[in-house]
Chain A
Amino acid sequence: MLFTSIDFALFLPLVFVLYWILNRYSHQGANVLLLVASYVFYGWWNWRFLSLIVISSAIDYLIGLQLANTPEPKKRKVLLGISVAANLGMLVYFKYFNFFIDSFANAFTFLGGTFHASRLNIVLPVGISFYTFQTLSYTIDVYRRKLEPTRNPLAFFTFVSFFPQLVAGPIERATQLLPQFLTQRKFNEQTAYTGLRIMLWGFFKKIVVADNCALYVDQIFDHPAGFNALSLLLGAVYFAFQIYGDFSGYSDIARGTAKLFGFELMENFRFPYFSRDIAEFWRRWHISLTTWFRDYVYIPLGGSRVSKAAVVRNTFIIFLVSGLWHGASWTFVIWGALNALYFLPLILSGRHRRHTDTVATGRWLPGIREGFLVLVTFLLTCVAWIFFRAESVGDAWHYLQYMGQGNWLEWPVLKNKMNLILLVFIVLEWLQREKDHVLAFLAPRPKYVRWMITYSLILLIFVFGNFSSDYEFIYFRF
């Protein structure tokens, strides 16, 4: 079920009312409803793949219990290995099998041999990259004794399949989310309003910013030869906002929806395009995935407290794996590698934690140096996004070639509607960059101001939104 569908508009209020009625009597009853609702939400897309969520949940629940009863380190490692193999096995089978077999066949052919690859005719189950990582975090935390395994299967299954964040994150940690399913939730009116505001801003990002950008991005990326250099640069900028609006929009709707049910999800994006270097960008972009890789891959590999060669290796590993997590294609691997290259000088010189605050804190405008750093960081991410968006490495390379060989003095093909939308969007985000979310400023205002502004925003979404059904959430593919 899509957040932007009429189905969801009917589904959400119904589940909301039933949930709070049940919660008055027992939080377990409310959990049952959430579990059923989550399965319906997922099954709306393809009920057959529900079995994967159930299998993944069951394996990790049982392994968690076994880990609690197993003191021997060797046996614990085996149990952990089963969980990792099962979850990553599903992921590899559905997501990477064809990619690996094709890459192997290409390499074989390149070396002069012949290899007839037999590809699998399979569909990628929506959200598999998200919920497998979420359940894995549980088993790893239990293995590390950071978390007591739960003996409540209902809470655990609901934690894995919680519908607001099931298909595109944030990838929640069991330590943070699971305990919320074990206690009675209390309805808080102000939290619910905050949730609705976060959702509204998420819809604006998705329907107005991302889906309008998508129209132009598709045109430009499909025929880059027909555009001049600045238009191609603009195409990459539009894509930067498309993916940001799309993914952070989804995260906002997920976070807002969870708040309506009394749950707190982690913040997944913190105004990433106002970063002054790539390290800051990665502290603000897809935070749940970045911290997942940091905690479960980077630090176990030694993190940055090892030799410089090992730091380089570790950095490349997490960025390449992160790229591959996004999709089974070399374009994502190169996107990851580029980010690793951007990141390396910072971490090797120990300057990767220079910018931990918000740019121009307490000021209206940034200084010239700060503004320059923000612009350079943004342009660097745009270059990397070209690989992320392109259909193949060859396409991305051609795009860059057309851009490099083009006449930079030629005026770009400007899309007035799009530029106006982006300008308004950037200004609003900039003004609210120190807040939890863009509409946070509404909370202390009188009711009529809040209503007028939110009504205006709904009207803006209606008039300027792109409601074409061609544009699902991009991260559904990952």
Chain B
Amino acid sequence: MKGFLRNTMWYLAGLLAINLVLYQIFFKPNLYEKYLQSLSQLKSEKHIPVLVLGDSHANAIPADYWPNPVFKRFCYPSDSYFDMYNKISYCIRRGIQIDRILLIADDHVVSDYRTRANNIETSILLSTFRTYKELLNFNRAQYLYMRYVKRYVPMMEASNSLLLYNFLEARMRTREYHYVEKQWAAYTPQEQEQSIQSRVKSQYAPAAKSLLACTDSILSMCRQHQIPVTGIVYPLSSRYRNRVDQMDYPSVSQRFLASGVPVLNFRSYFSDDRYFFDQDHVNDAGAKILADSVIHYLHVAIPAHVE
């Protein structure tokens, strides 16, 4: 029995070593690196005039289009309001002065799927147990699991499997094909309809109460620390907009307005498909116009020397 237990322990130690290697060679550079880099950049910040927070819709506007250092974009695809809460509270804890937060006010961000598809395993690096306890009802074990086990023992987490598989598959494919990104305007009406159907299905699950509550927590935290917030609704292509308009879905922008938060509503800003990469993400041309418009509407004074 002793021999069996000893061997099993050694075997598990070997498995742990494999996990650490996997973390170091794959998960750290692909999942955590950007967060860790942003985190180290954030640590050196003292003052952020405008902090841009959102998901892939905000991320579609390249960082270069936000004049640096006036704007600081800290967004990742699938970021949830909980991730954004973590970022703001981190800045507050570190005493970073924020003049304004440009916060996404798109409805799909409160969809229930965002309670599963989000970045809470990475934004935990910015957070504390107390936050996870208060907002997500985590106990200490769940918090420690997410913060350390899920990170350093990636094989414990099933969702990491798909991430690694997709990465390996993509790497194999890029060697075989030259992948050409197709813009929204190049889609046939049937292709657009198909894409919209699947997008609506994935993005508009019923709204999650926890995420709606999280928007309130963000606004109240900002109010408490006297940080002005401006909501922003990102543009949608006309066909997608028409489809979404048919749905009865809680409006995040209305919620913001009801709390006295101004909202820049760009939902119908572009009626031409050539400004879109897909049904709800702007392409480079759209991003440039959008960034300029936001700067204009926010009345942000950009010093002449700033890029």
**Interface positions of A (Cβ within 8 A of B):** 6, 20, 187, 189, 192-193, 417, 451, 455, 458-459, 462-465, 467
Contact = CB atoms under 8 A, between A and B. Distances in A.
Contact of B14 (A6, A20, A193, A455): A455
A463 B158 contact: no
Contacts of A463: 161, 164-165, 168
A293 B116 CA distance: 46
Interface residues of B, number: 18
Contacts of A462: 155, 160-161, 164
Contacts of A465: 161
B89 to A, nearest CB: 29
Contact of A458 (B15, B158, B162): B15
B18 interface: yes
A337 to B, nearest CB: 39
B189 interface: no
Contacts, number: 32
Contacts of A187: 1, 4
Interface majority SS on A: helix, strand, loop or mixed? helix
B141 to A, nearest CB: 11
Nearest to A465: B161
Given A189-B1, A462-B164, A467-B159, 4 more contacts: A192-B4, A451-B14, A463-B164, A467-B161
A51 B158 CA distance: 34
B3 interface: yes
A294 B165 CA distance: 45
A75 to B, nearest CB: 48
A108 to B, nearest CB: 41
B11 interface: yes
A463 B156 CA distance: 12
A459 B18 contact: yes
Nearest to A447: B7
The 6 closest A-B pairs by CB, nearest first: A467-B158, A189-B4, A187-B1, A462-B155, A462-B161, A463-B165
Interface in B53-100: none
Contacts of B156: 6
Nearest to A450: B11
Interface string B152-190: 000110111110110011000000000000000000000
B200 to A, nearest CB: 19
Given A464-B165, A465-B161, A455 B15 contact: yes
Nearest to B17: A455
Nearest to A5: B158
Nearest to B160: A462
Interface string B1-43: 1011000000100110010000000000000000000000000
A193 B3 CA distance: 11
Contacts of B168: 463
Contacts of A417: 169
